Amino acid sequence: MIKLRKRLVCSLVVCLFPMLSVASAAIDIPSARVDAAPVIDGSPGDAAWESVKPVAIADSASGKKVLLRSVYTADQVFFLVQFPDAAQNFLHKPWLWDADSKEYKTGPHREDTFVFKWNMMDKDVDLSNFSDDNYRADVWYWKANRTNPAGFADDKTQLLEGSASKKSKETVSTTGKKRYLSRISDAGKAPYKEYQPTAYEGDLVDAFPTGVPEGSRADVHAKGVWNGGFQTVEFARALNTGHDDDVQFDPAAGKPYLFGVSIFSLYGERLETSTPNLYGMGRISEPLRLKFQ
């Protein structure tokens, strides 16, 4: 019965997308208190998810609709995201054997991804990479190849400033101003490592073997499952991590938390339809506000 119920819930995604409208202004995302936490396994069939309605939002880069839900317990907050994804992409820049040159070359594959981007400022800001505002943001970066096998999302910090720093990348805002974006990994160990074969190990070799994250970089648990043209990803994080490189949540405070999300990569659709490559666009959805109920 449980497996049947989960299949029925998944099939409803196909029906929900055309029925839900997407607002053009900031959207409130309610987070409901639940007694039993959902299992982070990439399935929407848990009782916690069935108790809340999804909110439909727009992904800026792709134009796709994303269904988003949130619940929380005494010490954790959870998110469920679902979106259409024509192809399953679980490899990222793998090593492909070139028989002619007898060496490995980087493959064209790019992994499916999903991003949460949280405002860490004491005021509202435009969280886009092309914003005129200076900001600091907490970024949860789920990656189908580099983090999903470990059951995590990569935890990072983004800084957008008006002056360059050591590792910042120059961008241009929507009004034409020079801006500088820094992507900083949270303290600790990544959920993956880079690998390059030195001798033949097969025609295709994973460039990012799964590791075990540690420290603040291991704060965000996440698991995604692709099925029938849709991607489902669950996220879980402590309300308060105790780390200064994370946004901290307090349901009792009664305040909203500004954020945005992004599918970030639909590289498989480019491979199939020759549409523009959306990988790494760095754009987020319209402003969202998490409100604990």
| All structural domains of the chain with their residue ranges | 2-292
Question: φ and ψ at 131, to 5 degrees?
Answer: -80, 155
Closest of 84, 128, 119, 135 to residue 283, by C-alpha: 128
d(CA 72, CA 154): 21
pLDDT at 274 > cutoff 60? no
**Least confident segment among 59-68, 185-194, 227-236:** 59-68
| For range 244-269, the mean pLDDT | 86
| pLDDT bracket for residue 282 (50, 70, 90) | low
Reading the block at residue 89, the tokens are 């992409």
| For range 249-267, the mean pLDDT | 87
pLDDT at 221 > cutoff 60? yes
| For range 106-120, the mean pLDDT | 94
pLDDT at residue 26, as a whole number: 78
pLDDT at residue 251, as a whole number: 98
| 2-292 CATH | 2.60.40.1190
pLDDT at residue 1, as a whole number: 40
Q: Which residue has the higher pLDDT, 232 or 285?
A: 232
pLDDT at 265 > cutoff 90? no
| For range 186-214, the mean pLDDT | 95
| pLDDT bracket for residue 25 (50, 70, 90) | low
pLDDT at 88 > cutoff 80? yes
Which H, E and C letters describe the chain, residue by residue? CHHHHHHHHHHHHHHHHHHCCCCCCCEEEEEEECCCCCCCCCCCCCHHHHCCCCEEEECCCCCCEEEEEEEECCCEEEEEEEEECCCCCCCCCCEEEECCCCEEEECCCCCCEEEEEEECCCCCCCCCCCCCCCEEEEEEEEECCCCHHHCECEEEEEEEECCCCCCCEEEECCCCCEEEEEEEECCEECCECCCCCCCCCCCEECCCCECCCEEHHHCCEEEEEEECCEEEEEEEEECCCCCCCCCCCCHHHCCCEEEEEEEEECHHHHHHHCCCCCCCCCCCCCCEEEEEC
pLDDT at residue 19, as a whole number: 35
Closest of 288, 287, 270 to residue 279, by C-alpha: 270
pLDDT at residue 58, as a whole number: 87
pLDDT at residue 7, as a whole number: 39
pLDDT at residue 63, as a whole number: 79
Closest of 85, 80, 78 to residue 112, by C-alpha: 85
pLDDT at residue 83, as a whole number: 94
pLDDT at 77 > cutoff 80? yes
First to last CA, the chain: 31
Q: Are 112 and 85 in contact (CB under 8 A)?
A: yes
Q: Which residues contact 253 (CB under 8 A, 6 or more apart)?
A: none
**Least confident segment among 101-105, 213-217, 261-265:** 261-265
Listed ranges 8-22, 27-41, 84-98; the one with the highest mean pLDDT: 27-41
pTM of the full structure: 0.87
